[in-house]
Amino acid sequence: MKKIILSLAFLVLFAGCEKEEGIPQKKQLIITSNSHAQEPSSIALQEIIDEYNKNQTDVNVEFIPGSSDYEETMKTKMATNSLPDLFGTHGWSINRYKEYLEPLNNREWAQYVSPAIKPVITDNDEKFYTLPLDIDIVGLPYNLDVLEKANVDPKSIKTTDDFLVALEKIKNIGVTPIYLGGKDSASIGNIYDWIVPGLIILNKDNPQGENLKNGIFDEKSWNETGEFIKTLKDKGYINRDALTGNDAARALGTGKAAFLFFGTSMIREGLTYNPNARMDFIALPTKDKTEKSYFITGERMAIGVWKNSPNKKEALEFLDYLAKPENVSKMATANVLPPGLTNAKSELGKFEKSYDLGNQYQYVGFFDREYLPSGSWETLCSIGAGIISGQLSVEEATKKMKEDFDRLKNK
């Protein structure tokens, strides 16, 4: 009897397995990005994916939002050649991820890639490897109410000397000229990333761009960047709690600070503290008076396809769906940024005119992505903090930067 019961059990189990195997299984596509789960861009992307999945009979797309260790996770996946089917390239589609990505020049939507972002995502062979859903445009956020009180016209700030004069005027009315939120080290790293191009790259006398790209680090020129940060600290132009502060948006919105070295998203956040505040952003200044001031452009939300994905065909089909004008518009609007494709339009609200920049400015890529080896960002943050705290002299900070530059360039 036991044998009969066991035999029947195996038959039922086998029949169940046979039935399960007879059901067509959907292919699972994984897409990830560096955006955290609650960021507007992640929410918008999930909504697009949900709509896509409704109409798919053989594919299911799963979105895995990023976390604080996204870069380290991606480096591990590159080392083991086990990348997601689609992933966010967060500014590194060329210099870090290119060899893992499928070229996208032959996609129908490629003709619409915005000229404002195309040079940044294109390699020397005129190929690009990521779908730019929006364009990260970086300028210096400011509070106009504070600047007017200090008798500073933000549009008149063209050079680094103009900037320092403006900071002194702001300090004289009892307002913190620049708020650094060192608890998030990005604002300290951003001083380097944003100001260095105007000091040593866009400079006719001794430009360092080609040297850096060719692995040559000029310590004398780099000292100039550290001296600029030291001046901000010594002159009292930054908040006293620059290394521990964590209230940048509130400081800008409530008029406790005039400028931030954070992205323009801080302006939107600042409005939550003071809806009546007048805030905007300006181009970054150059040392060379003959050079135009500049904005930094780069990838914000950009997605590529792993070239060795077992589901590459389906991944490219989803990317094409994501590139539809209505979806690009949705993603760009979520970040309140211009769209990465010219056949889409984002809703910028009160910032519509702010992003209508024209050709009176220069446009450059993010300094660390363009000119420094991968992994240099952490060094920029640490040496900047060292100068501000007084733990590093300008020369010591330069020496540390050179050591890491030489080490990382050979990786």
State whether 66 and 100 are in the same domain: yes
Region 187-201: what's the mean pLDDT? 92
State whether 271 and 204 are in the same domain: yes
Region 168-196: what's the mean pLDDT? 90
Q: CA-to-CA distance for 216 and 210, rounded, in angstroms?
A: 8
* Domain-located, residue 166: yes
Give me the number of domains the chain comprises. Answer: 2
* 305's tokens: 């396809």
Region 285-314: what's the mean pLDDT? 94
State whether 282 and 303 are in the same domain: no
* Domain-located, residue 253: yes
Chain segment 311-327, per-residue pLDDT in tens: 999 999 999 999 999 99
Banded pLDDT at 304 (limits 50, 70, 90): very high
DSSP 214-254: TT---HHHHHHHHHHHHHHHHTT-B-TTTTT---HHHHHHT
State whether 305 and 255 are in the same domain: no
Q: In what order do the strands lie in the sheet with 279-282?
A: 176-179, 257-260, 140-143, 279-282
State whether 152 and 272 are in the same domain: yes
Banded pLDDT at 196 (limits 50, 70, 90): very high
Query: Model's pTM, two decimal places?
Result: 0.79
State whether 286 and 403 are in the same domain: yes
Contact 124, 146 (CB under 8 A): no
- Of 308, 323, 351, which closes a domain? 351
Q: Residue 81's CB: how many other CB atoms inside 10 A?
A: 9
Banded pLDDT at 352 (limits 50, 70, 90): confident
Lowest mean pLDDT among 11-20, 296-305, 330-339: 11-20
State whether 282 and 213 are in the same domain: yes
Q: Which residue has the higher pLDDT, 106 or 6?
A: 106
Residue 16's pLDDT is what?
44
Q: Residue 303: which domain range? A: 24-136+299-351
* Angle (nearest 5°) at CA 265 between 359 and 66: 115
Banded pLDDT at 3 (limits 50, 70, 90): very low
State whether 107 and 171 are in the same domain: no
Residue 99 per-residue DSSP state: G
Share of the chain above pLDDT 70, in %: 94
Lowest mean pLDDT among 18-27, 165-174, 276-285, 392-401: 18-27
Banded pLDDT at 22 (limits 50, 70, 90): low
State whether 223 and 107 are in the same domain: no
Q: Burial level of 246, CB count in 10 A (0-12/13-18/19+)?
A: exposed
Q: Which residue has the higher pLDDT, 246 or 231?
A: 231
Residue 24's pLDDT is what?
64
State whether 131 and 141 are in the same domain: no
Q: Which helix (H) or strand (E) holds 167?
A: helix 160-172
- Of 332, 351, 370, which closes a domain? 351
Region 20-45: what's the mean pLDDT? 84
Q: How would you classify the pairing of strands 140-143 and 279-282? A: antiparallel
Q: CA-to-CA distance for 333 and 41, rounded, in angstroms?
A: 9
Contact 159, 166 (CB under 8 A): no
* Domain-located, residue 16: no
State whether 192 and 240 are in the same domain: yes
- Of 351, 376, 395, which closes a domain? 351
* Domain-located, residue 202: yes
Q: Residue 309's CB: how many other CB atoms inside 10 A?
A: 19
* Domain-located, residue 3: no
Q: In what order do the strands lie in the sheet with 86-88?
A: 59-64, 27-32, 86-88, 302-305, 131-132
Residue 297, pLDDT above cutoff 90:
no
CATH of the domain at 230: 3.40.190.10
State whether 120 and 209 are in the same domain: no
* Domain-located, residue 10: no
